Amino acid sequence: MDEVMPERRFSPREVTASAQNVPNLSNTTMSGDGLVTLSDIHSTYDIFKTYPSDYYHKTPLLSGAECLFKIKGNTRLYLKLENTQVTGSFKVRGVINQFRNIPSGYGTNEHHLVSMSAGNYGKAFAYIASKLGLKGTIIMPDTAPDNREILIKSYGIVVERLPTAQLMTGINRHCTEDGMLFLHPYDDVNIIAGHGTIGLEILEELPEPDIVLVSCGGGGVLSGIAAAIRLSGREKCRIYGVEPEGSCTMYESFKAGHPIERPVKSVAAGLSPPFAGAICYNHCKMYVDDILLVTDPEILSSMMCLYHTGLVVEPSGAAAFAALLFGKVPNVDDKKVVVVITGGNVSPDELLHYSKSAAHLDVQTGR
């Protein structure tokens, strides 16, 4: 279930300035320099282990996956299957950690939690809020499909639709007038620490990966995984973020030396925020080697390639795999390569549509 992003683009400066004026959980940093620590991630992971499996579970790391695909070189491929996580994507990890750090008095009838999403974050927000008995509001762009509103409402969450140009205005209004607490959907240290548990799980099963590939939108999951691996002493491991060519905000931010905004358009809507998160950018610059770019046809072809081997993956979840499949990753011969499959929320109708749209390039499978 990829995000439906607003047409009107908010810059990092706009959102940061707005968020500083309202109750905002992401303003709270976990260390003095604003970066999560390895201790933060480990303590989060230890707490996750105490949750029942209908909140969170350790996802499989599929080894020997190189046998299924035509990949150049003697690459040993491992797939981290976050599409099998609760709610169908990695997002639930960050949401659990956000909710765990909510100040007392929020999440009540009087003081809702509030965020904006029409995809995987919104689904995870709604699901965990319902499990914990918390009250929340999700503001969705009015362009979002009706079925996504119905799903989020089914968990008891209030849904408000606004023109896409008014999403942050709506957040600000609810926080200042109604006393709600804004939870940022990705640019939040609690989100990053939660997603960092994926990195710890990878290292538990594969202590010395050579390359790790992670899809990148706002940068939350890339930041967390990169921090976990790098801070665990894996300095030789190369960590790459992967973005669509049409929505490469982190790539352009790396080039500019600061978070930037730019027009975005991609079939991988969940990787298409209008700007890289400012907190996420700082983590990525510290721990990520580079950002690689893939095209929409490559994403769709990779998605269908995974589907033909029995894995249901959404476009955003297939981007990192596309970078490997289409030869965008340097020096993979004889390397242990981990690809994080970030989500699998795609409907049968969407799968049919994507299968018709996919460019069936001659690299799909070895079968």
Q: Over its length of 367 residues, how does the chain's per-residue pLDDT go in tens digits?
A: 554 433 333 333 334 434 444 556 554 545 546 899 999 999 999 999 999 999 999 999 999 999 999 887 899 999 999 999 999 999 999 999 999 999 999 999 989 999 998 789 999 999 999 999 999 999 988 877 788 899 999 999 999 998 877 888 999 999 999 999 999 999 999 999 999 999 999 999 999 999 999 999 999 999 999 999 999 999 999 999 999 999 999 999 999 999 998 888 899 988 988 789 999 999 999 999 999 999 999 999 999 999 999 999 999 999 999 999 999 999 999 999 999 999 999 989 888 888 887 755 555 443 3
Asked whether residue 324 is domain-assigned, the answer is yes
Asked whether residue 304 is domain-assigned, the answer is yes
Axis-axis angle for helices 220-231, 278-287 (nearest 10): 30
Q: Are residues 151 and 50 in the same domain?
A: no
Supply the range of the domain harboring residue 321.
38-90+189-357
Q: Which domain-ending residue is among 182, 217, 239? A: 182
Asked whether residue 329 is domain-assigned, the answer is yes
Compute φ and ψ for 238, nearest 5 degrees: -90, 130
Q: Are residues 98 and 128 in the same domain?
A: yes
Q: Are residues 58 and 16 in the same domain?
A: no
Q: For residue 163, what is the domain's CATH number?
A: 3.40.50.1100
Q: Are residues 213 and 307 in the same domain?
A: yes
Q: Are residues 135 and 265 in the same domain?
A: no
Asked whether residue 3 is domain-assigned, the answer is no
CA 361-365-367 angle, to 5 degrees, is 130
- Give 279's strand partners: none
Q: Are residues 228 and 296 in the same domain?
A: yes
- Residues 6 or more apart from 256 whose CB is under 8 A from it? none
Strands (E), 16-75: 61-62
Cβ-in-10-Å burial (0-12, 13-18, 19+) of 95 comes to buried
Could you tell me if 288 and 222 are in contact, meaning their C-beta atoms sit under 8 angstroms apart? yes
Q: Are residues 193 and 298 in the same domain?
A: yes
Report how far apart, in Å, the C-alpha atoms of 98 and of each of 188, 193, 207, 218, 366 are: 8, 9, 28, 16, 42
The model's pTM is 0.90
Torsion of CA 106, 107, 113, 118, to 10 degrees: 170
Could you tell me if 186 and 119 are in contact, meaning their C-beta atoms sit under 8 angstroms apart? no
How many domains is the chain partitioned into structurally? Answer: 2
Asked whether residue 347 is domain-assigned, the answer is yes
Q: Are residues 23 and 42 in the same domain?
A: no
Q: Which two tokens stand for residue 325?
A: 């499949």
Asked whether residue 216 is domain-assigned, the answer is yes
DSSP state of 235: T
Distance CA 222, CA 138 (A): 24
Q: Which two tokens stand for residue 308?
A: 């033909």
Q: What does the pLDDT look like over 228-268, one tens digit per residue?
A: 999 999 999 999 999 999 999 999 999 999 999 888 889 99
Q: Are residues 109 and 242 in the same domain?
A: no
Q: Which domain-ending residue is among 137, 163, 182? A: 182
Q: Are residues 203 and 316 in the same domain?
A: yes
Strands (E), the chain: 61-62, 76-81, 113-116, 136-141, 158-162, 181-182, 211-215, 238-244, 290-294, 336-341
Could you tell me if 279 and 222 are in contact, meaning their C-beta atoms sit under 8 angstroms apart? no
Residue with tokens 């965020």: 115
Q: Are residues 219 and 122 in the same domain?
A: no
Compute φ and ψ for 305, nearest 5 degrees: -60, -45
Asked whether residue 249 is domain-assigned, the answer is yes
Q: Which domain-ending residue is among 158, 182, 206? A: 182
Q: Are residues 168 and 249 in the same domain?
A: no
User: How do beta strands 181-182 and 290-294 pair?
Assistant: unpaired
Sign, Cα dihedral of 348, 349, 350, 356? positive
Asked whether residue 263 is domain-assigned, the answer is yes
